[in-house]
Amino acid sequence: MSQLSNVKNVREILNRHGFSFSKKLGQNFIVNPSVCPRIAELGGAGPDTGVLEIGPGLGVLTWELASRARKVVAIELDERLLPVLEETLSEFDNVTVIQGDVLKIDLGELIRQEFPGMEVVVCANLPYYITSPIVMHLLEARLPVKAITVMVQKEAADRICAAPGSRNAGALSAAVSYYASARVLFSVSRGSFMPAPQVDSAVIRLEIRPQPAVAPVDEALFFKIIRAGFSQRRKTLANSLSSGLGLAKNRVAAALEQAGIHPSARAEELTLEDFCRLTSQIFEGDFDKKV
């Protein structure tokens, strides 16, 4: 096990490098020794696997990944951490650290170059200020990865993994379940981090589907309808779709009826299949020209 989750060691390394935490970059480093081995194991890091990590920080999770996987590529935005990582990961020859913003990197190209012939998984303790953009960036790029196992704030975990029809269901969980099957693996208390954040966290796993869960007639319209449906949660679907898509309410009501959805239903009650049928009706009803 790495010495990096020992608080005394972490303080010593940080002091020696004159490093101070950046709240802006979501720097809460794991200091609970039981967390990273579990993420690495459950994330699928193994002798034939390539692992893409986002935000290695001091390298505490990277260490656990590198000792199990064939290769690890870690993307870190904060260049002050590069000399630290060089020291903490010096015993490994299967780790590449790339300095950059994960949201600006062509991850498909990076995976093709760095992991030829390997099964690839993503493992990370995500910076919380951009959890949803990173998750959507990973999913929308249709990366050739098997699974994404990441730690996020507890509340974000509940929103990402919400089942259709449940209280937490929203545009994010609908989009996630289109690309992947998502579940919460385990919770992590705020005291497991340095500095400790205000809230607890959870590790989630998104198992990427070989094909999206449904096949909408027009994917862009499908997501536009989902976003519009959830945009005003207190309104009925007929109202929120009419204002969100700029369509007459009676036309929306007709499309809902043709799709077999009650006009007073709310977006969180709909399954992906419902949204898919609704997309067909709106698309075929000539509404697409106005959307």
Residues near ligand SAM, by CB under 6 A = 25-30, 54-57, 60-61, 75-78, 101-103, 125, 127, 130
Structure tokens at 169: 């269901």
Q: Which lies closer to ligand SAM via its Cβ, residue 26 or residue 216?
A: 26
CB of 27 to ligand SAM, least distance (A): 5
CB of 109 to ligand SAM, least distance (A): 16
Q: Which lies closer to ligand SAM via its Cβ, residue 103 or residue 217?
A: 103
Q: Give the 3-state secondary structure of residue 232.
A: coil
Contacts of 104 (CB under 8 A, 6+ apart): none
Q: Which lies closer to ligand SAM via its Cβ, residue 10 or residue 261?
A: 10
H helix runs in 56-207, sequence order:
60-66, 82-88, 107-114, 131-140, 154-160, 171-179
Q: Which lies closer to ligand SAM via its Cβ, residue 133 or residue 165?
A: 133
Q: Which lies closer to ligand SAM via its Cβ, residue 14 or residue 254?
A: 14
CB of 131 to ligand SAM, least distance (A): 10
Backbone dihedral region for residue 71 (phi beyond 0: left; psi -120 to 50: alpha; all else: beta): beta
Distance (Å, rounded) from C-alpha 102 to C-alpha 122? 12
Nearest Cα neighbor of 225 from 176, 283, 160 is 283
Q: Is 109 exposed, middle or buried (0-12, 13-18, 19+ CB in 10 A)?
A: exposed
CB of 103 to ligand SAM, least distance (A): 6
Q: Which lies closer to ligand SAM via its Cβ, residue 35 or residue 237?
A: 35
Distance (Å, rounded) from C-alpha 192 to C-alpha 35? 8
Count CA within 13 A, CB hemisphere, residue 162: 23
CB of 261 to ligand SAM, least distance (A): 38
CB-nearest residue to ligand SAM: 55
Distance (Å, rounded) from C-alpha 176 to C-alpha 195? 30
Taking residue 104's Cβ as centre, other Cβ atoms within 10 Å add up to 9
Q: Which lies closer to ligand SAM via its Cβ, residue 60 or residue 228?
A: 60
Q: What is the DSSP letter of 162?
A: P
CB of 180 to ligand SAM, least distance (A): 21
Q: Which lies closer to ligand SAM via its Cβ, residue 78 or residue 268?
A: 78
Spatial contact of 123 and 43, defined as CB atoms under 8 Å apart = yes
Q: Please report, in angstroms and rounded to a whole number, the separation of the first and last CA atoms in the chain.
A: 55
CB of 88 to ligand SAM, least distance (A): 11
CB of 136 to ligand SAM, least distance (A): 14
